[in-house]
Amino acid sequence: MSTLRKISVSFALLIFTCHIATSQQQAQKPTIKILSFNIYHGENTHGDGNIASIAALIKNLQPDFVGLQEVDLKTERSNFTDFSNLLAARTNMSSLFGKAIDFNKGAYGLALLSKHRLKKTIQHRLPNKRYRESRILIAVNSLIDQHEIQVINTHLDHAKSDKLRLVQSQFINKLFCNDSLPKILIGDLNAVPNSEPIQQLKNNWKLTDTQCSPTATYPSNAPNIKIDYIMVYPPNKWKIISSTVINTGEISDHLAYFVTLQLL
């Protein structure tokens, strides 16, 4: 074989090998399913327990991570049930509970459920004002197909004014938007899409709504505003495959929000 032909064949093999490697790398990029749900402290809108319905929803959707807000931990009103661990057991996931306040002989706060091993967990108190209910965020780091991501769950202040929510949004940006680690922010943010707190977050985070107009999530019996969100950071590291507000009926006073993402 001539030297020129050898070079041509070698070059063709190199192109073919590089193409296969690139295709394999693309195929290995993980798809991640996320669910956000304010579960109304374990009751439906009629005051009956809703944990069985929530567990069934999670099992049906098979999310990688679930961010839950308004979660009771062994309170008297919930018959001293540990909702976070109960849901984790029923859905074959691991759980992290974060206490926002002591309440009703137990605790009340947030939970994160995960299909994946929790590599690192953190909890932070959000900026607050005197006499306002304490608010927190919780976060987990996990490896998915050897890609590390961080998933954050929060529940912002619910006062009529946006002032405190804006400060809390600025705190979230300052805390998380200073490196290139891919992150997912889940939460009941108690703010509509055109509000100052959401616009502040959008300076760094990308909304996951695939509709031209975000679908309302509250109240569940006649939804007319969107206050439940899933966002991603940095925007150029994520592809939004789909997003759906699920008609969960009267399981809670909120509707669930479900998103499928791909890490780029």
C-beta atoms surrounding 61 within 10 Å: 17
- How do residues 116-140 score in pLDDT, each as one tens digit? 999 999 999 999 999 999 999 999 9
pLDDT, residue 216, reads: 97
Q: Which residues are 124's β-sheet partners?
A: 137
pLDDT, residue 69, reads: 99
Per-residue pLDDT band at 168 (split at 50, 70, 90): very high
pLDDT, residue 1, reads: 53
pLDDT, residue 213, reads: 78
Q: In this model, does residue 14 exceed pLDDT 50?
A: no
Planar angle of CA 163, 168, 174, nearest 5 degrees: 130
Mean pLDDT of 229-239: 98
Helix axes 83-91, 51-61, angle to 10 degrees: 40
First to last CA, the chain: 42
Helix (H, G, I), strand (E, B) or coil at 252: coil
Contact 151, 114 (CB under 8 A): yes
CA atoms within 13 A on the CB side of 28: 10
Residue 208 lies in a domain: yes
Residue with token string 């009956």? 48
**What contacts 99, CB < 8 A, 6 or more positions away?**
73, 107, 108, 109, 136
Q: Please provide the average confidence, as pLDDT, over all residues in the chain.
A: 91
Better pLDDT: 16 or 43: 43
For residues 230 and 227, what is the distance between their CA atoms, to the nearest angstrom?
10
Mean pLDDT of 157-178: 98
Residue 35 lies in a domain: yes
Residue 68 lies in a domain: yes
Residue 49 lies in a domain: yes
pLDDT, residue 73, reads: 96
- How do residues 81-116 score in pLDDT, each as one tens digit? 999 999 999 999 999 999 999 999 999 999 999 999
Structural domain containing residue 190: 31-263
Residue 193 lies in a domain: yes
Residue 25 lies in a domain: no
C-beta atoms surrounding 248 within 10 Å: 20
Q: In this model, does residue 253 exceed pLDDT 50?
A: yes
- How do residues 23-47 score in pLDDT, each as one tens digit? 444 557 899 999 999 999 988 999 8
pLDDT, residue 37, reads: 98
Residue 11 lies in a domain: no
Per DSSP (E only), the strands in the chain are 31-38, 65-73, 94-103, 106-114, 118-125, 136-144, 147-155, 183-188, 206-207, 228-233, 238-246, 256-263
pTM: 0.89
For residues 71 and 52, what is the distance between their CA atoms, to the nearest angstrom?
14
Q: How many domains, the chain?
A: 1
Question: What does the DSSP 8-state code read for residue 189?
Answer: -
pLDDT, residue 42, reads: 87
Residue 9 lies in a domain: no
For residues 83 and 54, what is the distance between their CA atoms, to the nearest angstrom?
11
Residue 252: CATH number of its domain: 3.60.10.10
For residues 147 and 136, what is the distance between their CA atoms, to the nearest angstrom?
26
